[in-house]
């Protein structure tokens, strides 16, 4: 455990396997924490990698400030983790909302010290449907409904959201224990952070950030993702970044790292070891 402190005094909870292996930083999705990478951390360590996870501000075991949930601040938090742990030649793996931190980091900080990146079921290039983004998969009505659900009754919202997170078509792709664990992690979030980050991942335009990607990129996505649909996100990102690699997991819901860990880990390890 190597907690770090951000420029505005927020303490982020960090888990670092340390060692001399190639560093891989795993950035979790909303509204979870670094614990959500449980299906990946052990496998990566067994294959010789130094694995770092951290809890986003307002989530998990990190401090719970009442602001700083825009992507510029969140990307600066990622930069703090990289700097304070003195990570070089690093692989950044962003899941869902975490993919936004990865691409905004490259868009604002550049790729110095970054070897390559992975975007898994990630929100870029731009979720919100708008006149200049007709292929955005999230309508304004759906975004407003989601926010209202969380705002009015988070205890009811999180179980429903977690079930959808792991549903492919009309079938739950994990056992109930996995859903319950996601709800447990969700409940660790502060309400201000949960609402603020929901606003950020729903409305942030990452299209300019994608043009700054100048390192190898792997896009991993489930073809049955009902939370961040492949056609409006992963597919568009892959098409926007020349030379990027794409792995589509058949029958994969949003939470593919937990529902399809074998396929996910195989693709990740192949990319890391290329």
Q: How distant, in Å, are the alpha carbons of 67, 174, 216 from that of 91?
A: 28, 28, 10
Percentage, residues of the chain above pLDDT 90: 98
Tens-place pLDDT, residues 221-246: 999 999 999 999 999 999 999 999 99
Residues 158 and 217: their CA atoms lie apart, in Å, by 31
Residues 174 and 253: their CA atoms lie apart, in Å, by 10
Per-residue H/E/C for the chain:
CCCEECCCCCEECEEECCCCCCEEEEECCCCCCHHHHHHHHHHHHHCCCEEEEECCCCCCCCCCCCCCCCHHHHHHHHHHHHHHCCCCCEEEEEECHHHHHHHHHHHHHCCCCEEEEEEECCCCCCCECECCECCCCECHHHHHHHHHHHHHCHHHHHHHHHHHHCEECCEECCCHHHHHHHHHHHHCCCHHHHHHHHHHHHHCCCHHHHCCCCCCEEEEEECCECCCCHHHCHHHHHHHCCCCEEEEECCCCCCHHHHCHHHHHHHHHHHHCC
Q: How distant, in Å, are the alpha carbons of 57, 108, 182 from that of 157?
A: 21, 34, 12
Q: Is 28 a residue of the active site?
A: no
- Length in residues, the chain: 274
Neighbouring CB atoms inside 10 A of 185's CB total 21
Q: Is 62 a residue of the active site?
A: no
Bond prior to 36 in cis (omega within 30° of 0): no
Q: Is 238 a residue of the active site?
A: no
The catalytic residue among 28, 221, 238, 254 is 254
Q: How much is the mean pLDDT over the chain?
A: 97
Q: Which residues pair with 53 in a beta bridge?
A: 15, 26
- Structure token digits, residue 65: 């400030």
Neighbouring CB atoms inside 10 A of 150's CB total 20
The catalytic residue among 33, 36, 62, 96 is 96
Tens-place pLDDT, residues 158-167: 999 999 999 9
Residue 70 has pLDDT above 80, yes or no: yes
Q: Which pLDDT score, from 0 to 100, does residue 19 have? A: 81
Residue 1 has pLDDT above 80, yes or no: no
> What domains does the chain contain, in order, with CATH numbers?
4-272 (3.40.50.1820)
pTM check: above 0.95: yes
Residue 2 has pLDDT above 90, yes or no: no
Tens-place pLDDT, residues 197-230: 999 999 999 999 999 999 999 999 999 999 999 9
Mean pLDDT within 2-26? 94
The catalytic residue among 225, 238, 259, 260 is 225
Mean pLDDT within 171-196? 97
Query: Burial letters for 15-54: b for 16+ Cβ neighbours within 10 Å, e otherwise?
Result: bbbeeeebbbbbbbbbbbbbbbbebbbebbeebebbbbbb
């Amino acid at each position: 455990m190597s907690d770090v402190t951000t420029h505005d005094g927020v303490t982020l909870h960090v888990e670092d396997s340390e060692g001399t292996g190639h560093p891989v930083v795993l950035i979790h999705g909303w509204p979870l924490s670094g614990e959500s990478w449980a299906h990946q951390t052990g496998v990566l360590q067994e294959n010789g990698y130094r694995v770092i996870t951290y809890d986003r501000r307002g989530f998990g075991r990190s401090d719970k400030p009442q602001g700083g949930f825009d992507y510029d601040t969140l990307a600066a938090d990622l930069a703090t983790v990289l700097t304070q742990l003195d990570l070089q030649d690093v692989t950044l793996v962003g899941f869902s909302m975490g993919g936004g931190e990865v691409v905004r980091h490259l868009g604002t900080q550049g790729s110095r010290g970054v070897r390559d990146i992975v975007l898994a079921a990630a929100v870029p290039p731009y979720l919100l449907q708008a006149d200049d983004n007709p292929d955005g998969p999230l309508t304004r009505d759906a975004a407003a409904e989601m926010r209202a659900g969380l705002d009015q009754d988070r205890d009811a919202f999180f179980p429903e959201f977690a079930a959808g997170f792991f549903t492919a078509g009309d079938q739950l792709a994990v056992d109930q224990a996995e859903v319950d664990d996601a709800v447990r992690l969700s409940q660790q979030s502060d309400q201000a952070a949960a609402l603020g980050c929901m606003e950020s991942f729903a409305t942030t335009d990452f299209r300019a950030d994608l043009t700054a990607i100048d390192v190898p990129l792997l896009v991993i996505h489930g073809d049955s993702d009902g939370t961040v649909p492949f056609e409006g996100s992963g597919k568009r990102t892959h098409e926007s970044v020349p030379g990027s690699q794409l792995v589509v997991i058949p029958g994969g819901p949003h939470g593919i790292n937990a529902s399809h860990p074998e396929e996910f880990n195989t693709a990740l390890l192949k990319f890391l070891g290329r």
